[in-house]
Homo-oligomer: A and B are copies of this chain.
Amino acid sequence: MTRIRLRIDLAYDGAPFAGFARQPDQTTVQGTLEGALQRLVGQDVAATGAGRTDRGVHARAQVVHVDLDVASATPEPADHVDRAERALADLDVLRDRLDQLVGPAITIWQVSSASQAFDARFSAVARTYRYRLVDAPAADPILRHDRWHVGQALDVDAMQQAGQALVGELDFASFCRKAPGKHTVRRIERVAVSRPSRGRVDIRIDGTSFCHQQVRSITGCLVEVGRGRRSSSWVGQVLEARDRSVAAAVAPPHGLTLERVSYGRWWPASPPESALG
């Protein structure tokens, strides 16, 4: 008996899920994925994800790894091992079947085999989040599912300037939901605020890893600056305070998308841009 590790690249619309992480009696991305895999391979499966997105947060390129038991040189493999081997015979077919089972709110981009050294969570060297804002007076209702309608013109330059105070290895205690016993130092590589078209503002944040609600909290603060209620330098002051009570309210979850998880050149590549529709 031996174990094989699979890497699964997937995307999801966060709306119908109580977040990524499995929870009893709730529909979650992890629970849905594990349940579908169990049906296909006939054994218990525990999925490890690169980022535990919150209820309502989307992911365009989440990465997960799972381990399955397969036969090595066993003359009579157990049934659960046999089923797993058949499921693994063609990973493209496994992708198709898994994609069918997890339903329209989750898409399986790719299933690939990975070495035991690959860990979806701890091997990740960078994560990219994008928060989408609409600052026109009226917002397109057809495209409202992944953006927050702020409804007031935002000052992109002021937001961009404010965001630069957050670049570096810093204590983000002011922006992290408290988790007892866990430190709040994180490394942000880049904060880029841009206007992709009239009436829209995007905030892209790249970092090695993020604490709970960090991106939504940063977004809430940057929007305060964009509205003109706070100066650009205020965000740096919030950081220095190391006190969550001085930060703005966190931005709503549906504007946030985990866009990319990077593992460096030696790991299997992310799905091609073309797959992103």
Contact = CB atoms under 8 A, between A and B. Distances in A.
Interface of A: 11-13, 58, 60, 99, 104-109, 134, 136-147, 149, 197-200, 257, 271, 273-277
Nearest to A15: B142
A141 B275 contact: no
B141 A12 contact: yes
B145 A142 contact: yes
Contact of A134 (B144, B145, B277): B277
A140 B274 contact: no
B136 A200 contact: no
Contacts of A105: 141, 144
Total copies of the chain: 2
- Dominant SS among interface residues on chain A: mixed
Nearest to A144: B104
A102 to B, nearest CB: 9
B277 A199 contact: yes
Please list the 4 inter-chain residue pairs (A to B) with the smallest Cβ-Cβ separation, ordered nearest first: A140-B277, A198-B274, A13-B141, A107-B141
A180 B199 CA distance: 45
Contacts of A109: 138
